[in-house]
Chains A and B, each alone.
Chain A
Amino acid sequence: MTTYTICVFTENTIGILNKITTVLTRRRINIESLTVSETERKGISRFTIVIHHESREAVEKLVRQIRKVVEVLAVFGYLNDDIAYNEIALFKISTPIGAKPIDIETINKVYKAWVVYWHLTYVIIQKTGTEEEIFEFFDYIKPHEILEFVRSGRVAVSKSPQTLVDYLPEAEWEYYQ
């Protein structure tokens, strides 16, 4: 199985999420993660969809099927090497009185993670990185008792110097200032 990241640029309309996910679900392709937000261009959303698939050909077909959705402006399929990508994870770690203290220096310097909230009996640590890096930290912090763990979907940008404007140069985009 290979991991593919599919970036979809769409008009920001009600129901577009359903229209895109339907293309995947009817082909029995599971979505490993999905992140959506507005781009630097007003009214244009960017979907970052991560899937695992054994066939590059099938993923290429999928990309073309997603492109058929009327509100979709552009779709790109990437392998991990083609993109810079990250996820964000939050760990709520138990810190009861008398327990082994957490090693903040290691967390900061080795794992590049940060405590974002302190409580008397727990802390919340934020870790950004790839899935592997997040789970490496997961293994490290596990002995301290993880009360809650949440991981976002992947966000990714292409390493190519081209931008969406290069693919859709005719558009008169309105940018955020």
Chain B
Amino acid sequence: MEFNENQTAAIAAPKPAVSVEKPELINGSHALIRSLIAEGIETIFGYPGGAIMPVYDAIYDYQTEIEHILVRHEQGAAHAAEGYARVSGKTGVCLVTSGPGATNLVTGIADAIIDSTPMVCIVGQVASHLLGTDAFQETDVIGITVPITKWNYQVTRADEIPEIIAKAFYIAGSGRPGPVLIDITKNAQQELMSKAFSYKKCETLISYRPRIAPKQDQVEAAAKLINEAKRPFVFFGHGVQIAGAEKELLQFIEKTDVPAASTLLGLSCVSVDHPNYVGWLGMHGNYGTNVLTNQCDVVIAIGMRFDDRVTGDVSRYAKQAKIIHIEIDPAEIDKIIKADAPVVGDAKRALEMLLPLVKENNHEAWRAEFKKYDVIEDEKITQPELAPTTEKIKMAEVIRQLSDKTKGEAVVLADVGQHQMMTARYYQFKKPGSFITSGGLGTMGYALPAAFGAKVGAPDREVVAFIGDGCFQMTIQELGTIAQKGLPVKIIILNNNFLGMVRQWQQLFHQKRYSFVELQNPDFITIAKGFGIDGHTCASRDNLNESLDKLLASDKPYLLEVLVEKEENVFPMVPTGACVADIRLA
């Protein structure tokens, strides 16, 4: 018989006077799954392996309560969990084995931290007695993920599991959301808990207290600046969507009549046809939004972090304006742009507190200035993209046609590169929570797994992923996951046989020295068919309308490859290090 501390305690304990029913003792793996169920988790994205096998054995018993989706590569699990979280507002969960299973998650975790995506990654680890011995598939995943997780922890005893899982979900989903990694040794998965399983959700931690409600004096200072402003300008970002503050944002911009522009991840929080919506900010954003950033007198930044792709050269960024920064993460205040009126707190609560303090206003003349720039942008860029005279199909016309056909209401994913920027520019977002892309990390290969994650998170919505030919080949194997689950994800490959954005930079800044950016692509449709996914290629503008109809008519996953113009550039553009007001139209 194996001798352990628990048994010693049992021997030492006095015998009860009357016999009582023994509590059911479960092992760590069952405790983990029951904890996930108690947390309300319905779906896990994962991949089994040696060090997580006891957990997979336990899942087998809970298949009616919790769905497990078998990905084809752990990176896919991470991105799928991200897509799921971004569309549902819930925390995504991935489950993988130790060593390579864990390291394959790393890109997805890094992606989730920079885009504030709530995710709990559960990783198998070698048994405690093997830690530090370079055992088979042992990796110091805790050490590896310190800089890219909101929190991580190694569990070595089954008894720890319920409390740590509760803590993990609380940290991942509260405040500024982010990824949490829990590494569980194999012995902790296998051993019995010493007491009956019970689960209590975590609601507070002594060392972690996100400030949800802003301080009244901060809100009042912000309101004063807004009420005195002649040319105020709202920048809204991902924090608005995370806080579910879309309605409050609308009320705010309508009451104050302030023009409002979006960051990349803020897109879809305000409908493009709202009279106060003036476009998109940053490197490939709109002409007027960038130029007028340097002419407004008050910036009201809500749930955004002044990313360098938004600001360009910070020494020449909105210097004339007072800055109000509404942000849940205090570390973001003054990080890039000094705030005159910081408001630390959740965007929804901040706007709720601001609304009664701001005056009704009329900024029609100021808003009209954006229109002047829109006319120029429309003439020089938008219309030539949407109604081209060239033979080859342009990315913009594919995206706009799809936008029209879905009435701007689909969940749209974009991978990373030119097609991403084109999607952000030309899809006409009408409904909140509709745009999912890798903003901060710029992870090629993100969209395909994130798309099926999003479909799981929003099964009643049309989910369409725009993917470049380079990106598609980074996670192409996830077609297998989509096919196996029969998830009706619509995939549009915008194929220009190039790593388009790199080629654009090489053209503009490296004297057209196209260094290793041309791709010899496989037959994507044959590959899709090999996975059991139907699809076809559209090579001519004459067939585009019909091709998109066919894609959308399918009630199964479908792949549409569109052969687009080979050397197309995304404009407008603020080159790296340039001032936003110096945005280029060509």
Which residues of A does B touch, CB under 8 Å?
10-11, 14-15, 18-19, 22, 26, 57, 60-61, 64-65, 67-68, 70-73, 168, 171
Contacts and interface: CB of A to CB of B under 8 A. Distances in A.
A15 B331 contact: no
Contacts of B147: 22, 26
A67 B329 CA distance: 11
Contact of A64 (B142, B150, B331): B331
Interface string B138-180: 0000110011001110100000000000000001000000000
A93 B152 CA distance: 46
A83 B434 CA distance: 52
A11 B207 contact: yes
A87 B518 CA distance: 60
Contacts of B146: 15, 18-19, 22
B365 interface: no
13 contacts: A11-B206, A11-B207, A14-B154, A15-B152, A15-B154, A22-B147, A61-B335, A68-B331, A70-B205, A70-B208, A73-B207, A168-B206, A171-B206
B49 interface: no
A118 B273 CA distance: 85
Interface string B218-252: 00000000000000000000000000000000000
A66 to B, nearest CB: 9
B334 interface: yes
Contact of B142 (A15, A68, A71): A15
B89 interface: no
Q: Which 8 A-B pairs have the closest CB atoms?
A: A64-B331, A70-B151, A73-B207, A70-B208, A22-B147, A22-B146, A68-B331, A65-B331
A10 B207 contact: yes
The B interface is mostly helix, strand or loop, or mixed, namely mixed
Contacts, number: 41
Nearest to B333: A64
B31 to A, nearest CB: 21
Nearest to B150: A70
Given A10-B207, A70-B151, A71-B207, A18 B331 contact: no
A73 B335 contact: no
Interface string B330-350: 110111000000000000000
Nearest to A20: B146
A171 B142 CA distance: 28
Nearest to B171: A70
A61 B150 contact: no
B330 A67 contact: yes
Which of A26, A61, A70 is packed against the most chain B CB atoms within 10 Å? Answer: A70
B207 A61 contact: no
A55 B143 CA distance: 29
Given A18-B146, A64-B331, A168-B206, 4 more contacts: A10-B207, A15-B154, A26-B147, A60-B334
A67 B206 contact: no
A26 B330 CA distance: 19
A14 B185 CA distance: 15
A22 B149 CA distance: 12
A169 B271 CA distance: 46
Nearest to A60: B334
Contacts of A60: 334
B330 A64 contact: yes
A24 to B, nearest CB: 11
A83 to B, nearest CB: 23
A11 B207 CA distance: 8
B206 A73 contact: yes
Contact of B143 (A11, A18, A26, A68): A18
Nearest to A62: B331
A26 to B, nearest CB: 6
Contacts of B171: 70
Given A19-B146, A22-B146, A72 B334 contact: no
Contacts of A73: 206-207
Contacts of B150: 70
B198 to A, nearest CB: 23
Interface string B164-205: 000000010000000000000000000000000000000001
Given A11-B207, A14-B154, A67 B143 contact: no
Interface string B457-476: 00000000000000000000
B506 to A, nearest CB: 29
Contacts of A11: 206-207
A168 B143 CA distance: 29
Interface in B244-302: none
Contact of B207 (A18, A57, A65, A72): A72
B94 to A, nearest CB: 20
Nearest to A171: B206
Contacts of B330: 64, 67
A61 B331 contact: yes
A26 B110 CA distance: 14
A117 B569 CA distance: 75
Contacts of B206: 11, 73, 168, 171
Which of B151, B152, B205, B331 is packed against the most chain A CB atoms within 10 Å? Answer: B331
A71 B465 CA distance: 38
Contacts of A171: 206
Contacts of A19: 146
A52 B401 CA distance: 57
Nearest to A170: B206
Contacts of A70: 150-151, 171, 205, 207-208
A19 to B, nearest CB: 5
A64 B206 CA distance: 17
A67 B209 CA distance: 11
Nearest to B151: A70
Interface in B42-83: none
A167 B331 CA distance: 18
Nearest to B331: A64
Contacts of B207: 10-11, 70-73
Contact of A61 (B143, B329, B334): B334
A64 B336 CA distance: 13
Contacts of A14: 154
Nearest to A73: B207
Which of B146, B171, B207, B208 is packed against the most chain A CB atoms within 10 Å? Answer: B207
Nearest to B207: A73
Contacts of B143: 15, 18
Contacts of B335: 61, 64
Nearest to A23: B147
Nearest to A21: B146
A175 B329 CA distance: 32
Interface in B8-65: none
Given A15-B142, A18-B143, A22-B146, A67 B331 contact: yes
